[in-house]
Structure 1
């Protein structure tokens, strides 16, 4: 083995500036570039091939540190590890924390598999990551998972707790597939440890309920803004999904012909649909356009956001929850204005069920009502019946709008 160079000799070689490679000892070399810079290089043999790897720049990396790294490199080679090959491995091997794993899972699994990957991404980022996202994969335990799920359950969101548990299981199974984990810390839990067995909701509001609800919402414009008010009105008479409405762009609307062309990319069924607009809906949309100050969206974001230009998925949910006296952030103490008026709790999604119930009460045929809600027709009828029923749906939605319009269009604010 060549005589080991000392630090004084290394500095002398660098001052001379003669390009070349100089043996330090133990497989370590000091390389002087043509530009006069110094680098540490280690040479070794792996799989009968002579190989060379750069360890770093001098003096950023001292002689002692470089020599220690060269020694460890030789030990790795003896164990069958090729350092250069390891360095070229994909980024997957750099997944160290749960957050790293989650990003890989969301990008390489969820985004390719789900039409709406923003839902699991939001649940992970907001509800799971704060509890165990920064932990190393080897450190996360079932207790960490249980703590995160119980926090969601305690907040009164059993369905979300069940979803979060399901996503946790998928996340850690992804880690096992990549051979980054040997066990799944969420696997032993069931929905009984989260939100419990979910009962199918059947909540639909009556005309009497709606009369009270809109009166209270109308009388509390600070707690429930006009934009929220109009969003609830549109959801109720159009029967569309919340996500379809809040992300809508003005380019999708033809108010002169009273239609909304919901594109395939945002339709949950995966097919585009033309939605007829009742007269009252056109008036509300025109008001929203004025209120939007030339925004491309019907419901522009109410605060600067780099993530997207329209309101959050939780905006309407939180606004309605506060009207039922539910806390949506620390320090909140809202009054239960709807509950005190005798209104049984309902959610934003219950407005869609209410629309379907009102259509049935108005004598609308089931297949027309189902298409009003952008449901695919089932069975043989769904296979052979390709008629869009636009005019029939227009007549159906106008029937319930005639009932609800006077209730919604109260005195101007």
Structure 2
């Protein structure tokens, strides 16, 4: 008989992800967690189906995040998929059939990517979801997207509008590629027209007290801001050079 792999509990999984201990960890029947780095992990389901071995990512790991899957959510989703397999159907071939609203598109897209899109999630939850989250993809128009972006621009949040615009384009490109929409309603969006971004450089001057405050915070969080990063930032401030120029300097 094949020896069953060690099963990892929720607490053990949390510690593995926090430490970034790379590896593949068995959680429940046919369900594995692949840890790539600190705080970065993905859920995978393995299954034999019609004499073929299927291995598919079912989501990214995170706790307290409505778009990603925690330990309990992953087990529940894996169980649903396995019931579908038992009925003689492949749930991964039907996955996109369940995407109807913008909320569902965002969730599906984020769980299909390796990137975390933390800032985009914040912007979506605060600026976009209350207006368009529950709206059917088939009912979302170009004007809907323009209205959301214009509200940000009018509130003098142009950088947020620009990021939201690019996120719209990413989402609807994905939806168009997977045939979830008939028309890509974001294809016409342009930075200078819809996010008031004219490409001009901003005139921002940091005071000495602001710089001192930033470096004090860096020193309080050495894991997030290691010494080499602090040195690099200090060099940027002294020489006023670009990142690429500093990296190429002898």
Question: Which range, TM-score by smaller chain?
Answer: 0.5 to 0.7
Partners of 2:120 and 2:161 in 1: CA distance: 12
Conservation of the 8 A alpha-carbon contact between 1:97 and 1:136: yes
1:194 aligns to 2:195 (yes or no):
yes
Structure 2: distance between partners of 1:163 and 1:376? 25
Measure how far apart 1:101 and its partner are. Answer: 0.4
Q: Is the 8 A contact 1:95 1:101 kept in 2?
A: yes
Shift of 1:206: 6.2
Matches within 5 A, 1:105-120: 105-109=109-113, 112-113=114-115, 117-120=117-120
- Structure 1: runs of 5 or more not aligned: 1-82, 208-232, 254-259, 277-351, 361-365, 382-413
Partner of 1:377: 246
Whether the aligned pair in 1 keeps the contact of 2:100 and 2:136 (CA below 8 Å) is yes
Change (3 A) 1:236 1:122: same
**Deviation per CA, 1:219-262, whole angstroms, max 9, x where unpaired?**
xxxxxxxxxxxxxx5x421655xxx94xx7xxxx6xxxxxx563
Distance 1:142 1:128, change over 3 A: same
Give the equivalent residue in structure 1 for 2:105: 101
In the superposition, relative to structure 1, how do residues 102 and 183 fare at CA in structure 2: closer, same or farther (>3 Å)?
same
- 1:262 corresponds in structure 2 to 222
2:123 aligned residue: 123
Q: In the alignment, which residue of structure 1 is the partner of 2:228? A: 273
How far apart are 1:151 and its partner, in Å? 0.8
Instruction: Encode CA deviations 1:258-285: one digit per residue, 9 max, x unaligned.
Output: xx5632xx35xxx763759xxxxxxxxx
Other-structure match for 1:23: none
- 1:203: which partner in 2? 204
Offset, 1:107: 2.6
* Distance apart, 1:194 and its partner CA: 2.1
Using the alignment, how far apart are the partners of 2:168 and 2:119 within structure 1? 13
RMSD between aligned alpha carbons? Answer: 3.7
CA distance in 1, matches of 2:212, 2:200: 26
**Residues 121 and 146 (structure 1 numbering): CA distance in 2 closer, same or farther, change over 3 Å?**
same
Q: Distance in 2 between matches of 1:205 and 1:95?
A: 46
Larger CA Rg, structure 1 vs 2: 1
After TM superposition, list the pairs within 5 Å mapping 1:312-351 onto structure 2.
none
Distance 2:132 2:177 in 1: 20
